[in-house]
Amino acid sequence: MMYFGVAALVVASIGVQSANAITPYLISGFLESNYISDDSSFDFLKHAGATNGNGIYYNSESKTYYYRGQVDNNIIYANRCWQIMGTTTDGAVKFIYNGFPSGSETCENMDNDSAALLDISYGAANNGSYVESNAKAKLEAWFADNLKDYADDFADVIYCNDTNYADTHKRITEDGKPTFICAEEHQLTVENGKLTYPIAMMSADELMFSGAGYGVAPSDGEGYYADTGKFQTLTQQSANKMFYNNSKHYMNRSSGTNYSANIRPVIAIASDSAYILGGSGTKLDPYRLKVIPPVPHQVGSLDDSLQIDDDIDSALFGERVTFTIDKNRKVKNITFTDETGEPVTVDLIIIDEENGKYAFTMPDHDVYLNVEYEDGAPSNPATFDASGISVLLLASCAIVFGLIIRTNSMRKN
């Protein structure tokens, strides 16, 4: 399935007031539809840049999509700024914390909203275990104070605390071969008891995928979105050292597990629930994240004269629902309401007005349809079909078949 950012097609139509429709779309689908290439040609020891990756890429080993380089991946969620990292091997999208919006809903000139995340020593014993670390205690305390009310939104995904430093040293510092695959003994999840909450930090592998070279500052034109000062990673580099992002704009190893650096929380949301609600991803115009679980909502009618097909009584958020009304009668008004009769706003699509063919995008709640005709007589039954096709895909065909409008009614002059 293809996904597109914003359905902004408007076609003139007599008697219909039209406006641009901004329709939410899945982040995972957007990444899949907009990736540039796979990452097999990159030199990961070097920084991301014009010839070494700058955009969205596909990793064939893990079958995931991710952002790399200096990209517009800023997003607001829970009144905080984050950056989209990419999809995971276990069906989610990861986000890394990037600060608190200061004065407006932008991600420029951000403040860190908690000193609890600043200058924290990793603080584990020589084995580098995150489970035993000071960093884990500090991060989970921050989660309890700031994000616990959103806990139901989060997916319990794998965070990788690779403590096999003989392997990580060779993989990261010598070979430049990062991986999204995590051996079972290094996996951190709530389910396996190693995390209290579904939150942790970025691994050195993920930092390298984001575009960070190792041990050398970037040249002009090089850089990576995760470069926001010095911060800890989950990956052990040697007997008492961890990989971290330093203030000189590259990845290095710390001077020891007691070395202090900032903590950047990482969360994950299920791929089928993480939607973008507009924005362009820049710091001045960040995406807006909305979490919408894939729960079917009822499609019905408050008008006794409207009948819905027996096998079509619900649809998922974002699905296209089509309906047919009497083509021989002049439509005065089409209204959409909730179960109480209160008007609701939907994206109405005129497919074939002459033959009474219409559609709408299913919102994240139940919706009921009523049709009023110019002759004032009761409406004829309408039949429905939930196709499961995103309205954003339909937009490409709308030049021929109709228009997208943002309204809760359609009135004819």
Q: What is the mean pLDDT of residues 331-350?
A: 83
CA distance 70 to 309: 50
Lowest mean pLDDT among 4-18, 289-303, 394-408: 4-18
* Alpha carbon distances (Å) from 139 to 121, 159, 199, 324, 384: 12, 14, 8, 54, 49
CA distance 99 to 32: 27
Query: Token digits for 39?
Result: 């990452």
Amino acid at 262: N
pLDDT category, 214, cuts 50, 70, 90?
A: very high
Report if residue 18 sits inside a domain.
no
Report if residue 10 sits inside a domain.
no
44/119 same-domain check: yes
72/117 same-domain check: yes
Report if residue 193 sits inside a domain.
yes
Which residues, in sequence order, are CB contacts of 192 under 8 Å at separation 6+?
none
Report if residue 302 sits inside a domain.
yes
Give the range of the structural domain holding residue 197, as residue numbers without chain letter: 26-291
Reported pTM: 0.79
- Please return the burial class of 400, using the count of CB atoms within 10 Å of its CB with bins 0-12, 13-18 and 19+: exposed
311/281 same-domain check: no
Using one digit for the tens of pLDDT, what is the confidence trace for 141-151? 999 999 999 99
- What is the C-alpha end-to-end distance of the chain, expressed in Å? 38
Domain end, chosen from 291, 308, 342, is at 291
Cβ atoms of 379 and 372 closer than 8 Å = yes
Query: Token digits for 70?
Result: 């200096």
Of 70 and 16, the structure prediction assigns the larger pLDDT to 70
pLDDT, residue 256, reads: 84
- Please return the burial class of 192, using the count of CB atoms within 10 Å of its CB with bins 0-12, 13-18 and 19+: exposed
214/306 same-domain check: no
CA distance 156 to 92: 9
pLDDT category, 328, cuts 50, 70, 90?
A: confident
284/303 same-domain check: no
313/270 same-domain check: no
49/142 same-domain check: yes
pLDDT, residue 6, reads: 27
95/169 same-domain check: yes
Domain end, chosen from 291, 319, 346, is at 291
Q: How many CB atoms lie within 10 A of CB 159?
A: 25
Domain end, chosen from 275, 291, 307, is at 291
Report if residue 147 sits inside a domain.
yes
148/98 same-domain check: yes
pLDDT, residue 301, reads: 59
Report if residue 2 sits inside a domain.
no
269 DSSP β-pair partners: 93, 154
Cβ atoms of 276 and 27 closer than 8 Å = yes
309/276 same-domain check: no
Using one digit for the tens of pLDDT, what is the confidence trace for 29-74? 999 999 999 999 999 999 999 999 999 999 999 999 999 999 999 9
Block residue for tokens 């007691």:
258
97 DSSP β-pair partners: 82
Asked whether the predicted pLDDT for residue 168 surpasses 80, the reply is yes
Mean pLDDT of the chain: 82
pLDDT, residue 373, reads: 79
Total domains, the chain: 2
Report if residue 4 sits inside a domain.
no
3-state secondary structure the chain: CCCCCCCCCCCCCCCCCCCCCCCCEEHHHHHHHHCCEECCCCCCCCCCCCCCCCEEEEECCCCEEEEECCCCCEEEECCEEEEEEEECCCCEEEEEEEEECCCCCCCCCCECCCHHHCCEECCCCCCCCCCCCHHHHHHHHHHHHHCHHHHHHECCCCEECCCCHHHHHHHHHHCCCCCCCCCHHHEECCCCCCCCCCCECCCHHHHHHCCCCECCCCCCCCCCCCCCCCEEEEEEEECCEEEEECCCCCEEECCCCCCEEECCCEEEEECCCEEECCCCCCCCCCEEEEECCCCCEEEECCCCCCCCCCCCCEECCCEEEEEECCCCCCEEEEEEECCCCCECCEEEEEEEHHHCEEEEECCCCCEEEEEEECCCCCCCCCEEEEEEEEHHHHHHHHHHHCEEEEECEEECC
125/220 same-domain check: yes
Share of the chain above pLDDT 70, in %: 80
CA distance 410 to 102: 40
Using one digit for the tens of pLDDT, what is the confidence trace for 353-391? 888 888 888 888 888 888 887 877 655 445 555 544 333
pLDDT, residue 121, reads: 92
> Based on C-alpha coordinates, what's the Rg of the chain?
25
405/274 same-domain check: no
Report if residue 217 sits inside a domain.
yes
